[in-house]
Structure 1
Amino acid sequence: MRKVSDLRVPKSYKEAMASEHRHLWSDSMQREFYGLLEAGTFTPAKMLAALACELNLDLCHFDVEQAFVRSELEEDVYMRLPQGCGALSGMIVKLGKSLYGLRQASRQWHAMLKRCLVALGFEQCMADACVFRLIEDGCVVLILVVHVDDIFAVGERERCDKFGADLNKSVPVKNLGELRWYSGCFYERNKETGRLTISQQTFTDELAAEYGVVGGRSVPMSSGVKLSDFDADEVATEFPFRELVGSLMWLATQTRPDIANAVRAVARYCASPKLVHWNAAMDILGYARRTSHFGISFQRGTVEGFSLQGYADADFASKAADRRSVSGGIVTCGGGAVSWFSRTQKCVTLSTTEAEYVALGDVVKEILFLRQIWRFMLPQVGMPCIPVFEDNQGAIQLAQNPISNSNSKHIDVRHHFLRELVERKEISVIHVPSPYQRADFLTKSLPKDAFESHRDFVMNLA
Structure 2
Amino acid sequence: MVKALQELGGLQCSLDMSMFYWRQDGHLDGMLCLHVDDILYCGSQNFNDTIITSLQKQFRVGSSAEASFTYLGVDFKSYTDGITVDQKQYISSISPSPITMARQSNKDSCLSVQEIADFRSLVGQLNWVATQTRPDVAFDTCELGVSISKAVVSDLLHLNKVVGGLNKTLYSYFFLECYTDAAFANLSNDGSQGAMLIFLRDSDGKRFPIFWKTRCLRRTPRSTLEAETLALVEVAEASVYLANILTQITGRKSITVRCLVDNRSLYDSIYSTRQVDNKKLRMDVKAVKNMLVSGEINRVDWVEGSQQLADCLTKKGVSPNKLRAAIGR
TM-score, normalised relative to structure 2:
0.87
In the other structure, the counterpart of 2:103 is none
Name the residue aligned to 1:252: 130
Is the counterpart of residue 135 in structure 1 residue 23 in structure 2? yes
C-alpha contact 2:68 2:78 (8 A) present in aligned 1: no
**Which residue number in structure 1 is paired with residue 197 of structure 2?**
330
Aligned equivalents of 2:3 and 2:70: distance in 1?
26
Match of 2:3 among 96, 115, 138: 115
Match of 1:178 among 26, 51, 67: 67
Report how far residue 384 of structure 1 moved. 4.3
Q: Where do 1:22-61 residues align within 5 Å? A: none
Q: In the alignment, is residue 198 of structure 1 matched against residue 85 of structure 2?
A: yes
- By how many angstroms is 1:373 displaced? 1.2
Q: Check conservation: 1:248, 1:285, Cα contact below 8 A.
A: yes
1:139 Cα deviation from its structure 2 partner: 3.2
SS in 1 for 2:279: coil
Structure 1 Cα separation of the partners of residues 135 and 46 of structure 2: 35
CA contact (8 A) 2:243 2:255 kept: no
The equivalent position to 2:287 in structure 1, one of 410, 417, 432, is 417
Structure 2: tracts of 5 or more residues without a match:
100-106, 202-206
Counterpart CA distance in 1 for 2:6 and 2:187 is 51
Instruction: Report Cα offsets for 1:244-264 as digits up to 9, x if no partner.
Output: 111100110111111001111
On the 8 A contact 2:247/2:255 being kept in 1, the answer is no
Could you tell me which residue of structure 2 aligns to residue 294 of structure 1?
A: 171
Share of identical aligned residues, percent? 24
Shift of 1:162: 2.3
Counterpart of 2:323 in 1: which secondary structure? helix
**Following TM superposition, by how much is the alpha carbon of 1:426 offset from its aligned partner in structure 2, in angstroms?**
3.1
SS at 1:295's partner residue? coil
Q: Which amino acid aligns with 1:315?
A: A
Deviation at 1:179, TM superposition (A): 5.0
- Whether 1:358 aligns to 2:191 is no
- 1:54-453 residue pairs with structure 2 within 5 A? 113-173=1-61, 175-191=64-80, 194-208=81-95, 211=97, 234-237=109-112, 238-239=114-115, 240-291=118-169, 293-298=170-175, 308-317=176-185, 320-334=187-201, 335-379=207-251, 381-401=252-272, 403-406=274-277, 408-411=278-281, 413=283, 416-427=286-297, 428-448=299-319, 451-453=320-322
Q: Distance in 1 between matches of 2:273 and 2:33?
A: 40
Distance apart, 1:403 and its partner CA: 4.6
The offset of 1:316, in angstroms, is 1.3
Question: Letter of the aligned partner of 1:184 in structure 2?
Answer: G
Match of 2:204 in 1: none
Given the superposition, is the C-alpha separation of residues 368 and 447 from structure 1 closer, same or farther in structure 2, using an over 3 Å criterion?
Answer: closer
* SS in structure 1 at match of 2:21: strand
CA pair 246-320 structure 1, distance change in 2 beyond 3 A: closer
Distance (Å, rounded) in 2 between the aligned partners of 1:156 and 1:297: 21
Equivalent position amino acid for 1:453 in 2: K
In structure 1, the gaps of 5 or more residues are 1-112, 214-229, 299-307
3-state SS of paired residue (1:296): coil
Question: Counterparts of 1:411 and 1:252 in 2: how far apart (Å)?
Answer: 31
Q: Distance in 1 between matches of 2:73 and 2:66?
A: 17
Using the TM superposition, give the Cα deviation of residue 282 of structure 1 relative to its aligned residue in structure 2, in angstroms: 0.4
Tell me the secondary structure at the aligned position of residue 195 of structure 2. strand
Cα distance change on mapping 1:134 and 1:159 into 2, 3 Å:
same
SS of 2:6's equivalent in the other structure is helix
Which has the higher Rg, Structure 1 or Structure 2?
1
Cα separation, partners in 2 of 1:180 and 1:320, compared to 1, 3 Å? closer
How far apart are the structure 2 equivalents of 1:263 and 1:309? 24
Query: How many residues are aligned here?
Result: 312
Shift of 1:416: 4.0
Aligned residues of 1:266 and 1:281 also touching (Cα < 8 A): yes
| Aligned 8 A contact 2:270 2:285 in 1 | no
Question: Would the alpha carbon gap of residues 361 and 152 (structure 1) be closer, same or farther in structure 2, given more than 3 Å must change?
Answer: same
Give the 3 Å change call, closer, same or farther, for CA 403–126 of structure 1 in structure 2: farther
C-alpha displacement of 1:276: 1.1
Structure 1 pair 195–170 and aligned structure 2 pair: CA distance change class (3 A): closer
Let me know the Cα RMSD of the aligned residues: 2.3
What amino acid maps onto 1:276 in structure 2?
S
CA contact (8 A) 2:269 2:285 kept: no
> How big is the shift at 1:206?
1.4
Task: Report the CA distance between 1:404 and its aligned residue.
Answer: 3.3
Asked if structure 2 preserves the Cα contact closer than 8 Å seen for 1:256 and 1:295, the reply is no
Q: Any conservation in 1 of the 2:198–2:209 contact (CA below 8 Å)? A: yes
Conserved? CA contact 1:179–1:187, under 8 Å: yes
Q: Equivalents in 2 of 1:431, 1:310: separation in Å?
A: 12
Give the residue type in structure 2 aligned to 1:386. V
